[in-house]
Structures are given as structure tokens and as C-alpha cells.
Structure 1
Amino acid sequence: MKVILKETIESLGIIGSEVNVADGYARNYLLPQKKAILATPQNRKVMEQMKVRVQAQIAKERAIAEELAARLNEISVTLSAKVADEGKLYGSVTVQDIVRALLEQNVEVERRQLLLPEPIKALGTYKVPVRVYKGVEPEITVEVVPAA
């Protein structure tokens, strides 16, 4: 089913774009939540008229995202963990641990925004990308140190 997005949805696209989604997803989620409208010729005309406002919204979202990205590039997080032999951790440092440490620094990011491919299982310094907006992915520095 083709729908036109009324707001930016990370997994689908930006506001105003026409996307093809599963019928059930559109009927049960996007349309009732007013996150999208059906892609009919009449709705396309309405969205064309709203395009100026949409472009302004996209520019605003991107500016906010780039401002946050500049802040995130400067952030460094230090996490302490119990260490076994040869610098290996007993557990691992997960996305939730990093989010919690960022909250302590008054930086709010969602778990799914952190692009950590797998949990950190050794001491060291790591660069973790954060998806703030489409095409805006700053990196935060995560340093894992042994617990005292």
C-alpha cells in the first residue's frame, strides 16, 4: 500500500515522502496514528501544497540534529567494569550501559540510536556511532576501564 508520510519515521523515510508499506502496517498503525495518509491523487495535491511547510520542518529537524551531533562529538563516556585475566570483562558493556552513562551527563539518546554492533567485551577506547538523523551520525568515545 502506498502512503505519504506526515512525519519523519526513522525506518521508513522523511516527512512528505511517498513510501510503499505492508497493508496491515498502514491500516493498523500509520493511518490510525495519523502518521501517514493514503497516496491518492487528491492527497498528493494536498501534500504538494504543504511541501513548503514540509521543507521548513525538514530543515528545522536537521538543524536540531546537527546541533546535537556537535555536542555528541565532544562527549566521552568512561565506564568501569570487573576484569578477568588478559583485559577481558566478566560481563560486557551494552547499549543500555552507555545510555545510562550519557544520562548522567544530561545527554538524552534512545537505545536504538546507538549503533553498537555487539557488546564491548574488552578494556579499551571505542568509537560508537549515534544515528541522530538520516545522514547525521556523530561518534561518541566510550572508554572501558577496570573497576577499582
Structure 2
Amino acid sequence: MELLLKEDVEHLGVRGDIVKVRAGYGRNYLIPKGLALMATRANVKLIERERQRLVKLAEAELAAAQSLGEKLNATTLTFQRKAGENGTLYGSVTSMDIAEALAAQQLEIDRRRIVLKEAIKALGDYEVTVKLHRDVAATIKVSVVSDAPKPTTPDEHPPAGESVAS
């Protein structure tokens, strides 16, 4: 089955390409999701007329993605989680947690664009990649810290009977 792509589809093609796919994939996924049209002469002519608009749209999307990428590269997120003595988290930090933290900073990112091979399950500093566009990827610094209060040492408290001057 030959289809004309209306949107970029990862591992298949970019907007405006005519691709050959299996009938079930085209009928059951690409066409209902609005990602492709049947590659008829009328649809091909329609896309050729829209190609100029699509080029301008692609340039605008790329510029927006690069601008957002610069903001994300400067972003550091800190998560406080309960952790065991050896630094293992009770739970994890997932792409959904990262997307929610970004939304709190007025940076709306779809969680599926956040690339985590697996959830973060230990304390520490991590670099997480966000795919914004096929040509633009940003890196966010994620720090996972324990929410338990730090144990105090005798050096931090004044000896009994002495007061601290304010």
C-alpha cells in the first residue's frame, strides 16, 4: 500500500514522502491517526501545492525547537525522593515526573519526547535527553536527592550553655 505522509513518522519517512507500507499498518494506524493519506493523484497534487506552506511550517517548527532546546539545555531539575542507606530510591523518577516538573516551569514537553532507557532508581546527577525535533535534541540536568534530613554532627551545634549570636 502506498501512502503519502502528512506528518513525520519515525523510522518511516518525513512529511510529503510517498512510502510503501503493509496494508494493515496503513489502514489501522497511519490513516486513522491522521499521519498519512492514500497516495492518489489528487492527494499528491494537493501535497505538491502545499509543499511551500510545508517548507515554511518546517522552518518555523525547527526554529521553535531550537529556541526551546536552548532553554532546556540551561534547565536543571531537582527531585527529592525517599532513599535507602545505599542510595537506592523507594520508587523512581520517570519521564512523566520530568514532564510535570518542566510543566511547572512553563516548559510544556510531551513525556514521550523525554528519552529515558529506564526510570532513575538511585540518588545522583543525571543527564536526560529530550527529542524536540528530528534535528534538535536537548539535554536536561536531573539531580535526585534524598528527602531525609542530613544527620547533624557535633560541629554544627554550639556546646551546651553557649548561645549563638545573631
Normalised TM-score (structure 2): 0.78
Distance 1:37 1:113 in 2: 25
> Which 5+ residue runs of structure 1 have no aligned equivalent?
none
Distance 1:92 1:33 in 2: 32
Of the structure 1 ranges 129-138 and 15-24, higher mean CA displacement relative to structure 2 is found in 15-24
What are the within-5 Å matches in structure 2 for residues 32-47 of structure 1? 32=32, 34-47=34-47
Normalised TM-score (structure 1): 0.87
What is the aligned partner in structure 1 of residue 8 from structure 2?
A: 8
What is the aligned partner in structure 1 of residue 91 from structure 2?
A: 91
Partner-residue secondary structure (3-state), 2:62:
helix
Residues 1:42 and 1:132: Cα distance change in structure 2 (over 3 Å)? same
Q: Which structure carries more relative contact order (alpha carbon 8 Å, separation 6+)? A: 1
What are the within-5 Å matches in structure 2 for residues 1-148 of structure 1? 1-10=1-10, 12-32=12-32, 34-148=34-148
> Which 5+ residue runs of structure 2 have no aligned equivalent?
149-166
Distance 1:75 1:118 in 2: 21
RMSD, matched Cα: 2.0
Partner-residue secondary structure (3-state), 1:131:
strand
Report the number of matched residues.
Answer: 148
Of the structure 1 ranges 85-94 and 24-33, higher mean CA displacement relative to structure 2 is found in 24-33
Choose between structure 1 and 2: higher helix proportion. 1
